[in-house]
Amino acid sequence: MAYVLALDVSMGKSYKVLYLDDLCLSEGEILHTKSGFNALLQEIRTLPETPSIVFEATDVYSKVIETFCLNNHLAYCLLNPLEAKKQLDSGLRVLKTDKQDAHRLAQAHWQYERKIKRHQSTIYEESHDLARFYQEIEAEIKRLRMYLHTALQLSFPELEILFSSRVSTLSLNIIERFPHPDYLAGLSQTQVKNRLKKSTDKKIFDKKALEKAQQLLLLASNSYPAATKTSIQVQKVQYYAQQLKELIQSKETLSKQLIEQCKPLSEFELYQSVPGIGEVSAALIIGEIGDIRRFENHKKVNAFVGIDTRRYQSGKYLAQDHLNKRGNPKARKILYFSVKNMIRQQAAASNHIVDYYYKLKTQPIPKKDKVATVACMNKLLKCLYSMIKNETKYDYAYTASKDQ
């Protein structure tokens, strides 16, 4: 006899079915509340043996089920949504309801090799949450920068000439203080310089402040804004500048938290031994990939990230190979920019990943930039996996010889 408890999870509730082999013993809706979970736990404890618990990962909604299982030391199978869809979509006509999905999960349980969810240590779980929050802040900064750019084009477009592509707290302070050229009307260089010095928490030398003041006055004298000084566009510029300053501060704080969280892990130092991978990149890789040792080989890591190859053949037709892209898109993004950073910093140290990139770009049939970069991501993952498995730092002489 074998018991299976299947749950179709939704927001705030789940539909539960309990099977003994092919016989449904009970079914019904449970609420994600203390009373709801207590009732479910009592039902589980009345059984002669602990049932196999199975449910589909549904973003944040299934987390409470995982917490329930962990708190009560219950093993469970957590299905990837794509995996669950493949297992449940059988037959020509599919009736999809929460009730039907729960029954299918239970009925199909013994037909498939569903693995028990293995949990990483707390440090990896917390690193993952910090890494995700850090990336959310980065995305918000990018969005607000676009809004600020749009508003500045109407109020004081020349202001962007003063700053590089990287927005600093100083540049945002200047934008907030002088969002329109009329804010500089009638002011002397000394007055502007003194206001700039007061508008930043960081120490700024008189010479630099005076240079900025001269540039601002020159730009303001020749500016022809589309909006007036009292326009809502000016308020938007100041608002976005304030919001961006807060987000940049939050990003710096999260960066320090993430680095401190990952420092005790041996892979944090090992990842940084690869030229082009700094503290933040190493911490983000750990946050997204987790404990790389849990994978049986580097191909499993590739599949987890989503850079393994998808191949399709039917009869004489053979489609062009494509990336699977069913893995972790956040991890792919981090690895992509890590490779790009290696290429930018290639003069600092020898790197076999960079060598491989240029080898692909200079072949008789050169690869496109993105294709070459993804191939380098594959090689980087293989390198990182080997380093952690063998507890060795990056060695260009060894890796370069292996590529020959």
Average pLDDT over residues 7-33: 94
Q: What is the pLDDT of residue 404?
A: 55
Residues 6+ away with beta carbon under 8 Å from 216: 162, 174, 178, 184, 192
Transcribe 151-193 into DSSP letters: HHHHH-GGGGGGS-SS--HHHHHHHHH-SSGGGGTT--HHHHH
Q: What is the pLDDT of residue 93?
A: 46
Residue with tokens 């100041």: 238
Model confidence band, residue 400 (pLDDT cutoffs 50, 70, 90): low
* pLDDT over threshold 90, residue 16: yes
399 against 383, higher pLDDT: 383
Model confidence band, residue 291 (pLDDT cutoffs 50, 70, 90): very high
* pLDDT over threshold 60, residue 163: yes
Question: For the chain, what is the mean pLDDT?
Answer: 88
Q: For the ranges 73-77, 281-285, 305-309, which has the lowest average pLDDT? A: 305-309
* pLDDT over threshold 80, residue 275: yes
Coil, helix or strand at residue 376: helix
pTM over 0.75: yes
Average pLDDT over residues 51-62: 91
Structure tokens at 83: 């995996």
Rounded Cα distance, 186 and 217, in Å: 10
- Give the angle 358-352-267 at the CA atoms, nearest 5°: 135
Q: Which domains does the chain have, with CATH numbers?
A: 3-111 (3.30.420.10), 125-259 (1.10.287.4070), 275-403 (no CATH)
Average pLDDT over residues 152-158: 94
Coil, helix or strand at residue 5: strand
82 against 37, higher pLDDT: 37
233-271 CB burial, b ≥16 within 10 A, e <16: bbebbbbbbebbbebbeebeebbebbbebbeebebbebb
Average pLDDT over residues 19-44: 94
**218-227 per-position pLDDT tens digit:** 999 999 999 9
Q: What is the pLDDT of residue 322?
A: 52
Q: What is the pLDDT of residue 182?
A: 95
Q: What is the pLDDT of residue 112?
A: 83
Radius of gyration for the alpha carbons in the chain, expressed in angstroms and rounded:
28
Model confidence band, residue 319 (pLDDT cutoffs 50, 70, 90): very low
Q: What is the pLDDT of residue 147?
A: 95
Q: What is the pLDDT of residue 15?
A: 95
**92-150 per-position pLDDT tens digit:** 445 667 788 899 889 888 888 788 888 888 999 999 999 999 999 999 999 999 999 99
